[in-house]
Amino acid sequence: MGGKTTMTNKVVIIGCGNVGMSYAYALLNQRTKVNEIVLIDLDQQRIDGEAMDLNHGLPFAPSKIKIRAGSYDDCKDAAIICICAGANQEKGETRLDLLSKNNLIFKSIIDKIIPTGFDGIFLVATNPVDIMTYFTFKHSKFPAGKVIGSGTTLDTARLRYLIGDKLSVNPKNVHAYVMGEHGDSEFVLWSNAYVGSVSVQKFLEKSELDNISLQVKNAAYEIINRKGATYYAIGMVLVRITNAILDDENTILTVSSYSKEHDIYIGMPSVVGKNGVTSLIEVNFTEEEKEKFSNSANIIKKEVDKL
C-alpha cells in the first residue's frame, strides 16, 4: 500500500492505442501544466517505442515534459489517470456492444491503481464511456466528482465545428451542447444553442438543425467506416479536460458526470476544475428535450443495471 503523496502534474495514460497516444501527442504539442506523461499498456515493447518516438519531438515542444513507459506504481502521485484501455468499436458495433469486454479490463486496471494510494482525478475515455465511468466510480469508491468521463465533450466539439462551418463563424464563438449518452440516444440542446448572443435557431431551418444533429450522432460511424477508428479529436478533447482540471478553470464542459437522481453517469454541462466536477449547470429544457434526456438516462440505466 503506497500512502498519500504530494500531487504533481503527472498524467498516467492507461491503454496506449490510438486514443491514448493521440492524447499523449496532443499534450506534447500544446502548452499545458503537464510535466510528466507515463504510458501503461499490456504491450510493453510498443509503449517503450512510443515513449522514444514522443521524446524525439521534445526539442520542438512548447514546454518540457518527461515522457516514459511506466508501471502502476507511477499512479501513486499522478494528478490524472486517463483510462483509454479496452476493445474498440468494430464496423457495425455500437458503443454499448463493447461493455462486457471492457468491464473485465477495467476491473483489473482499477484493482491495480487503488492500492497505490492514487488520490487524483480519474478521466475515462473508453466506450461505452458513460457506463465505464460509472463502473470506475463504483469500483474505485472515489467521490463522484473525482471520476469524470469524456461524455459528450467530443460530440459537443463536433457540433460546434459543424455550426461554425455552416455559418462561417469561429467554432469558439458557438455556444451549444450535446447532452445525454455518448451514443445513439444523445441529442442537441437546440433551445440553448447560440452563435455569439443569437440563437442558432434564428439562423437555420429545422431541417438544417436535424441534419446537423444527425451528422454529430453518426460522426463516429462515418469515421470508423472510412479509417477504422476515431482518435485525433478525442485526444484534443482529453487535453481540454486536463487543462480544465490542472488550471482549476471551472470551465463548463459536457463531460460524463454523476447524476444522483438517476444513479448514472451521463453527459451534462458540468463545472470542471482542480477537484474534478464540482457542480452541474441546471438546464432549461423544453418538454421535448426533457423527454430526450430522460430517454437517454433510461438507456444508460438499463446498461448500468447489468454491471
**CA dist., res. 130 & res. 98, Å (int):** 12
Query: What residue is closest to ligand NAD based on CB?
Result: 17
**CA dist., res. 81 & res. 270, Å (int):** 19
At 146 the three-state DSSP class reads helix
With both helix axes pointing from N to C terminus, report the angle between 206-227 and 153-167 in degrees, rounded to the nearest 10: 120
Residue 104's Cβ-count burial label (10 Å; 0-12, 13-18, 19+) is exposed
DSSP 8-state class, residue 116 = G
CB of 222 to ligand NAD, least distance (A): 13
Q: What are residue 175's phi and psi, to 5 degrees?
A: -115, 95
Q: For the stretch 88-100, what's the b/e string if a residue is b when 16 or more beta carbons lie within 10 angstroms of its beta carbon?
A: bbeeeeebbebbe
Instruction: Indicate the residue among 129 and 195 with the shorter CB distance to ligand NAD.
Output: 129
Instruction: Indicate the residue among 184 and 248 with the shorter CB distance to ligand NAD.
Output: 184
Instruction: Indicate the residue among 14 and 193 with the shorter CB distance to ligand NAD.
Output: 14
Q: Is the peptide bond before 128 cis (omega within 30 degrees of 0)?
A: yes
Residues that bind ligand NAD (CB under 6 A): 14-20, 40-43, 84-86, 88-89, 98, 105, 108-109, 125-127, 129, 150, 154, 182, 229-231, 234
Q: Would you tell me how many other CB atoms lie within 10 Å of the CB of residue 131?
A: 31
Instruction: Indicate the residue among 194 and 232 with the shorter CB distance to ligand NAD.
Output: 232
Instruction: Indicate the residue among 10 and 240 with the shorter CB distance to ligand NAD.
Output: 240
- Whether 182 is catalytic is yes
Active-site entry in 139, 175, 182, 262: 182
Instruction: Indicate the residue among 34 and 81 with the shorter CB distance to ligand NAD.
Output: 81
Sheet arrangement for strand 256-259: 66-69, 36-40, 10-14, 80-83, 121-124, 147-149, 256-259, 264-267
- For cell 458503443, name the residue: 95
Q: For the stretch 154-183, what's the b/e string if a residue is b when 16 or more beta carbons lie within 10 angstroms of its beta carbon?
A: bbbbbbbbbbbebbeeebeebbbbbbbbbb
Active-site residue numbers?
182
